[in-house]
């Protein structure tokens, strides 16, 4: 058993359950700040953990700017007393009026959103104006992921200028997420990230020369924020998310992230030993994210030479030559491969401190709608 994860009162914890190790989270936050160079250069993404308590831990560590992907997360952040919230998601449809209501409900919070289309920005402007509210808008730039955003260039400059003329929208800077930069080698990742940044910096220069403010440059996720952290750019904000909890997916792929420790672990139990070489545990796809391929969704600790066989909603079946060492009810720990969607599968998490479960935290923003 990895001593990092040992628990004395495990019999009191239901499985499947998600365990958050508070000291490890604290250490991961500290390591994130260390890489960033200063807590003020960070704007971590809350979508990984969606919990108020980790937001407060980040605030206690001096991190005052936060990023999110849903209006519920934005509401949770504002409710925690965060005064600088970036909803890094294009706001459309009824979410425009909802954004305006959120801004009205939290007058001491500066809200920002991303946009990459004039019509969407126009609809948001109208909704905000109707409520007498305003938000910052960051132009979402596509530097190669091709998920959202516009390519840095003349079209992007024109759109930024258009946004700046719309009532209720303040020019908030540029947003660049490069989730496609997943090169295992740090040097190769760095080269790709810095190459893609060049047109972004050129765009910023063009905008500023034409008198348009670019107060922020929000860059990167966990694999690339160490690259951008080395730069000295005005308004630079680094936006990793996963590294606060970390997971097996990033730990196995990126050796340079060795300073982070997986702080979220799944507790599962043997529910059956259907054959002499097989055990079945209560860790189906409703407890661990199934976006990694079958068999690669988690790593079981202390199950010798196991081979994943089958996973369904509430069952995970593995073959192991040590099956006879396991009995129904035995606890097994698993490190999830992708922690962000795994968190969203759990209504609450068990918080472990000094080998004991001290409290539970609600994964509050797994709900799509809180109050607004
Ligand atoms: C827009 C945006 N910013 C930041 C992040 C954080 O990236 P990571 O999970 O690699 O820390 C993500 C992750 O999906 C994202 O979509």
Element (H, E) at 217: strand 217-219
First to last CA, the chain: 44
Q: State whether the beta carbon of 226 lies less than 6 angstroms from ligand 1.
A: no
Q: State whether the beta carbon of 44 lies less than 6 angstroms from ligand 1.
A: no
Closest residue CA from atom 7 of ligand 1: 221
In 10-57, DSSP assigns E strands to 17-21
How high is the pLDDT of residue 2? 86
What does the pLDDT look like over 19-65, one tens digit per residue?
Answer: 999 999 999 999 999 999 999 999 999 999 999 999 999 999 999 99
Separation CA 242–CA 229 (nearest Å): 16
Q: State whether the beta carbon of 242 lies less than 6 angstroms from ligand 1.
A: yes
CA 5 to chain centre: 22
Average of per-residue pLDDT across 335-359: 98
pLDDT score of 128 more than 90: yes
If you measure from the C-alpha of residue 219 to the centroid of ligand 1, how many angstroms do you get, rounded to a whole number?
10
pTM of the model as a whole: 0.98
Average of per-residue pLDDT across 69-95: 98
pLDDT score of 338 more than 90: yes
- Environment class of 185 (CB within 10 Å of its CB; exposed 0-12, middle 13-18, buried 19+): exposed
Separation CA 36–CA 201 (nearest Å): 20
Residue corresponding to tokens 């969203």? 344
Q: State whether the beta carbon of 220 lies less than 6 angstroms from ligand 1.
A: no
pLDDT score of 6 more than 80: yes
pLDDT score of 104 more than 90: yes
How high is the pLDDT of residue 1? 76
What does the pLDDT look like over 152-206, one tens digit per residue?
Answer: 999 999 999 999 999 999 999 999 999 999 999 999 999 999 999 999 999 999 9
Residue 256's pLDDT band (cuts 50, 70, 90):
very high
Task: Sketch the domain layout of the chain as residue ranges.
Answer: 3-16+260-366, 83-239
Spatial contact of 178 and 221, defined as CB atoms under 8 Å apart: yes
Separation CA 28–CA 225 (nearest Å): 14
The matching CATH number, chosen from 3.20.20.10, 3.40.50.720, 3.30.1490.100, 3.40.50.2300, for 83-239 is 3.20.20.10
What does the pLDDT look like over 263-304, one tens digit per residue?
Answer: 999 999 999 999 999 999 999 999 999 999 999 999 999 999
Assign domain 3-16+260-366 to its CATH architecture: Beta Barrel (2.40)
Residues 6+ apart with CB under 8 A from 259: 31, 34, 35
Q: State whether the beta carbon of 77 lies less than 6 angstroms from ligand 1.
A: no
What does the pLDDT look like over 140-150, one tens digit per residue?
Answer: 999 999 999 99
């Amino acid at each position: 058993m990895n001593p990092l994860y040992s628990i004395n009162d495990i019999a009191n914890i239901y499985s499947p359950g998600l365990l958050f190790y508070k000291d490890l989270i604290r250490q991961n936050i500290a390591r994130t700040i260390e890489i960033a160079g200063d807590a003020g250069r960070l704007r971590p993404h809350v979508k990984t953990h969606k919990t108020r308590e980790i937001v407060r831990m980040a605030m206690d560590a001096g991190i005052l700017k936060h990023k999110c992907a849903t209006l519920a997360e934005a509401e949770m952040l504002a409710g925690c007393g965060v005064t600088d919230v970036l909803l890094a998601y294009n706001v459309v449809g009824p979410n425009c009026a909802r954004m305006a209501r959120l801004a009205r409900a939290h007058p001491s919070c500066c809200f920002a959103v991303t946009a990459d289309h004039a019509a969407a920005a126009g609809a948001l402007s109208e909704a905000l104006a109707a409520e007498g509210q305003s938000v910052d808008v960051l132009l979402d730039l596509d530097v190669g992921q091709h998920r959202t955003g516009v390519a840095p260039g003349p079209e992007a400059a024109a759109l930024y200028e258009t946004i700046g003329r719309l009532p209720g929208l303040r020019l908030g800077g540029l947003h660049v997420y490069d989730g496609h930069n997943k090169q295992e080698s740090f040097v190769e990742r760095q080269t790709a990230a810095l190459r893609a940044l060049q047109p972004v910096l050129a765009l910023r220069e063009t905008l500023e020369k034409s008198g348009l403010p670019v107060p922020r440059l929000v860059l990167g996720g966990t694999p690339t924020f160490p690259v951008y952290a080395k730069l000295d750019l005005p308004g630079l904000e680094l936006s990793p998310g996963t590294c606060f909890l970390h997971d097996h997916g990033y730990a196995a792929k990126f050796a340079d992230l060795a300073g982070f420790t997986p702080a979220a672990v799944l507790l599962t139990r043997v529910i059956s030993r259907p054959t002499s070489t097989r055990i079945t545990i209560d860790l189906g796809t409703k407890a661990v994210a199934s976006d990694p391929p079958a068999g690669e969704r988690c790593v079981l600790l202390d199950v010798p030479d196991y081979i994943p066989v089958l996973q369904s909603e509430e069952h995970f079946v593995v073959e192991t030559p040590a099956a006879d060492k396991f009995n129904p009810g035995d606890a097994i720990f698993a490190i999830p491969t992708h922690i962000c969607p795994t968190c969203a599968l759990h209504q609450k998490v068990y918080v472990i401190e000094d080998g004991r479960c001290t409290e539970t935290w609600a994964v509050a923003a797994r709900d799509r709608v809180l109050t607004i």
